[in-house]
Amino acid sequence: MNYLIIGGVAGGATVAARLRRMDEKANIVLFERGKYVSYANCGLPYYIGDTINNREKLFVQTVKGFTDRFRIDIRTEQEVTAIRPDKKEVEVKNLSTGEIYTETYDKLVLSPGAEPLRPGIEGIGSKKIFTLRNVPDTDTIKNYINIEKPKRAIVVGGGFIGLEMAENLHDLGIQVDVVEMANQVMAPLDFSMAAIVHQQLTDKGVGLHLEDGVSRFEEKDGGVTVHLRSGKQIATDMVLLSIGVRPETKLAKEAGLAIGERGGIAVNDYMQTSDADIYALGDATEVKNLVTGQPSLIPLAGPANKQGRIVADNIIFGNKKKYAGSIGTSIAKVFDLTVAATGANAKLLQRNNIPYTSSYTHGASNAGYYPGAVPMSIKILFDPENGKLLGAQIVGFNGVDKRIEMLEQVIQRGGTIYDLTELEHAYAPPYSSAKDPVNMAGFVAENILKGKSQIIQWRELAELPADTIRMMSVRATNTN
């Protein structure tokens, strides 16, 4: 059998390795237009910020190591320029020599990934404006910083990568401003939770410009002046664009494969495209959101790796293994904070007309009497009738990762807030409380559903008559 894979990194490399483990005799060819076949793209900001100081540690597999271990024909710097499903062949261009040739396949796998958005804003072609998606991007940014020694940087976009880069640039001693068109950073969070992140950024000296976009860039006085739609002008030495990605679907479109309503490659439950001999996975595909039931673009490394294993198994054994879908569980470090989300937020539920209510709890990472206990805020969203858990968000310092994974498991299995009250956890004072913050979130939600507590959300205060409101501070006074 002849298996061709387009694209490496997380998805494509996983498919290649799994195919070889399942079939020792197959001919497996992996085409990668870049120079590197498999690298830790989630670690790139930390290499730029010198948290990771050894560049070689970014590489999960080298071409030689991958070839020697799995006997896979890896062709880097070779780009597939066309797919011809009727002939079951692809056209390939060797980017080093310019040679164009064809290869035939029995099964073809698409893992082209996604590309950074780079809108047609005036002045965006400046050499001082960067995007971060791969190792060459990383090297370009790192070299610029080492040579030019910038004192100021602007990050356009307040998503996960944007804020990770803001932190790492800040840690290099660079003054950072973040520009975000929305009224908040971190789109997976709802505003109330994002507000905690806003405070952290401000406390660290990061300039935060919300509800403002870039109208143009201007090279001036050896740097770049960023003109905002509000009329503000910010002078800087470098700009990082981090305003999102779009799935790379050009090859699939030109091959006549079906494209989904969100702009990604359409696949069935077996990760099979509209052509039975072509599979697709990763950032370029649309998969089912398990909360809304709707097709979604979920460009995360975890799902891509899982899809890779499923694709390989379905190619070898026939379509027997389904990919259930994803709930988009994500986590990021933002200076001292850890920010995590899973399932649907309020905005997504509203867009899909899914009824919900929510609760907020503010606990601690471990027993309050044990040294090192730090705050942890949890928001959960759930069905107002049956308590089905729809989404969760956590902003805190320690222990956020294990709590979001507890909540993710309940959502993925269609569980309810009542399940949260019964979750058993490993307890000792250094790690948790006897009533874990996740249990407490369940208890509060249960009180709301059963009418034991009357809850007024903060956003509802503005709708109440002023003479019916009495404000009381429950903050502890400073006794020092």
pLDDT digits (tens, 9 = 90+) for 374-431: 999 999 999 999 999 999 999 999 999 999 999 999 999 999 999 999 999 999 999 9
Is a pLDDT exceeding 60 seen at residue 304?
A: yes
Is a pLDDT exceeding 60 seen at residue 479?
A: no
Whether 377 and 348 share a structural domain: yes
On the 0-12 / 13-18 / 19+ scale of CB atoms within 10 A, 218 is middle
Residues 229-244 have pLDDT tens digits of: 999 999 999 999 999 9
Q: What is the pLDDT of residue 210?
A: 98
Is a pLDDT exceeding 70 seen at residue 476?
A: no
Whether 87 and 183 share a structural domain: no
Say if 144 falls within a structural domain: yes
Is a pLDDT exceeding 70 seen at residue 203?
A: yes
Question: Tokens 């790796």 correspond to what residue?
Answer: 305
Say if 121 falls within a structural domain: no
Whether 182 and 288 share a structural domain: no
Residues 337-377 have pLDDT tens digits of: 999 999 999 999 999 999 999 999 999 999 989 999 999 99
pLDDT band of residue 317 (cuts 50, 70, 90) is very high
End-of-domain residue from the set 284, 317, 350? 317
Residues 177-190 have pLDDT tens digits of: 999 999 999 999 99
Give the whole-number percent of the chain exceeding pLDDT 70.
98
End-of-domain residue from the set 242, 267, 283? 242
Mean pLDDT, rounded, for 103-128: 95
Q: How far apart are CA 19 and CA 109, in angstroms?
A: 11
Say if 430 falls within a structural domain: yes
Q: How far apart are CA 413 and CA 403, in angstroms?
A: 16
pTM: 0.91
Which residues participate in catalysis according to the annotation? Answer: 42
Whether 218 and 342 share a structural domain: no
Q: How far apart are CA 329 and CA 209, in angstroms?
A: 27
Mean pLDDT, rounded, for 138-158: 97
End-of-domain residue from the set 194, 215, 242? 242
Whether 358 and 421 share a structural domain: yes
Residues 21-79 have pLDDT tens digits of: 999 999 999 999 999 988 888 999 999 999 999 999 998 888 888 899 999 999 999 99
Whether 456 and 363 share a structural domain: yes
Check which CATH number belongs to the domain holding 153 and give it: 3.50.50.60
Is a pLDDT exceeding 90 seen at residue 205?
A: yes
Say if 201 falls within a structural domain: yes
Residue 224 in tokens: 């770049």
Q: Virtual CA dihedral for 164, 169, 173, 174, nearest 10 degrees?
A: -120
**Are 198 and 208 within 8 A, CB to CB?**
yes
Q: Which of 105, 124, 119 is nearest to 3 (CA)?
A: 105
Neighbour order of strands in the sheet with 223-228: 214-220, 223-228, 233-236
Mean pLDDT, rounded, for 314-330: 96
Residues 446-458 have pLDDT tens digits of: 999 998 877 777 6
Residue 295 in tokens: 């097709």
What is the residue range of 299's domain? 2-115+246-317
Q: What is the pLDDT of residue 456?
A: 72
Find the length of the chain: 480
Whether 351 and 461 share a structural domain: yes
Is a pLDDT exceeding 60 seen at residue 439?
A: yes
Say if 271 falls within a structural domain: yes
Whether 104 and 133 share a structural domain: no
**How many domains does the chain divide into?**
3
Rounded to 5 degrees, what are φ and ψ at 314?
-70, -35
Say if 473 falls within a structural domain: no
pLDDT mean across residues, the chain? 94
Cα angle for residues 429, 432, 437 (degrees, 5° grid)? 145
Q: What is the pLDDT of residue 466?
A: 77
Whether 166 and 252 share a structural domain: no
Q: What is the pLDDT of residue 477?
A: 64
**363: which strand partners?**
376
SS3 content of the chain, % helix, strand, coil (to 5): 30, 30, 40
Is a pLDDT exceeding 80 seen at residue 469?
A: no
Whether 461 and 340 share a structural domain: yes
Say if 327 falls within a structural domain: no
Whether 13 and 160 share a structural domain: no
Say if 78 falls within a structural domain: yes
Is a pLDDT exceeding 90 seen at residue 326?
A: yes
Whether 110 and 138 share a structural domain: no
pLDDT band of residue 478 (cuts 50, 70, 90) is low
